[in-house]
């Protein structure tokens, strides 16, 4: 049998918080997120069919994405906690603001934010792939990115900027 979890742990990914507004805002940490198309602007996220967020995305028809910076590892861990009782305010201890398009919570001080309208749900195994049309996309802080690799959080510093300036890369 293929040990997919171990093999996939060798692939470094960015870390996001996917959120949904509505009567009971909800969010989860996710690294199964990527761009699909620039024209039209489409992204996707993968959510377990048993996750509370799955039901919320289906119900609301939209989701928001906050791309986390290296200093937000605690935030990533907070929204990865599955033991939280249903109905508990996940955002009580996290600084956030409502997205201008959907009202979905966006995490303060993130690297970037997007709000998306679901255009397609593709059931794939035990997950759904939600394709979202990007309604709003904004960059935020100019910090190092939070990554997930080898079963642990890592930090990626800036490497080379568009103007050719050198940066550095480090793991943490």
Alpha carbon distances (Å) from 112 to 2, 51, 96, 123: 35, 24, 13, 27
Give the list of residues 6+ apart from residue 164 with CB closer than 8 angstroms, or none. none
Whether residue 46 is predicted with pLDDT greater than 80 in this model: the reply is yes
Q: Is the model's pLDDT at 106 over the cut of 80?
A: yes
CA 122 vs CA 31, 110, 132, 152: distances in Å: 18, 28, 12, 29
Look-up: residue for tokens 């049309």? 133
Q: What is the pLDDT of residue 143?
A: 87
Mean pLDDT, to the nearest integer, of 30-55?
95
Residue 123, C-beta contacts closer than 8 angstroms, at least 6 positions apart: 49, 129
In DSSP terms, 62 is beta-bridged to 117
Structure tokens at 94: 């996290």
pLDDT tens digits, one per residue of 114-155: 999 999 999 999 999 999 999 999 999 788 999 887 787 777
Q: What structural domains and CATH numbers belong to the chain?
A: 4-156 (2.30.110.10)
% of the chain at pLDDT higher than 70? 85
For residues 36 and 54, give the distance between their C-alpha atoms in angstroms, rounded to a whole number.
20
pLDDT of residue 165: 46
Beta carbons within 8 Å of 166's beta carbon, 6+ residues apart: 159, 160
Contacts for 84 with CB less than 8 Å, ≥ 6 apart:
90
59 in the Ramachandran plot: left (φ > 0), alpha (ψ -120 to 50) or beta? alpha
Average pLDDT, the chain: 86
Q: What is the DSSP letter of 102?
A: T
């Amino acid at each position: 049998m293929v040990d997919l979890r171990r093999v996939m742990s060798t692939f470094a990914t960015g870390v996001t918080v996917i959120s949904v507004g509505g009567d009971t805002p909800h969010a989860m940490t996710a690294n199964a997120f990527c761009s699909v198309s620039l024209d039209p602007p489409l992204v996707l996220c993968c959510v377990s069919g048993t996750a509370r967020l799955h039901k919320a995305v289906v119900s609301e028809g939209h989701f928001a994405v906050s791309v986390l910076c290296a200093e937000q590892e605690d935030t990533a861990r907070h929204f990865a906690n599955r033991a939280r009782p249903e109905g508990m305010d996940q955002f009580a201890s996290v600084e956030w603001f409502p997205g201008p398009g959907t009202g979905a919570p966006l995490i303060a001080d993130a690297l970037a934010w997007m709000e998306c309208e679901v255009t397609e749900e593709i059931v794939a195994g035990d997950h759904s792939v939600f394709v979202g049309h990007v309604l709003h996309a904004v960059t935020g802080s100019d910090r190092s990115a939070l990554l997930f690799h080898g079963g642990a959080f890592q930090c990626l510093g800036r490497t080379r900027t568009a103007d050719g300036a050198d940066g550095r890369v480090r793991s943490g």
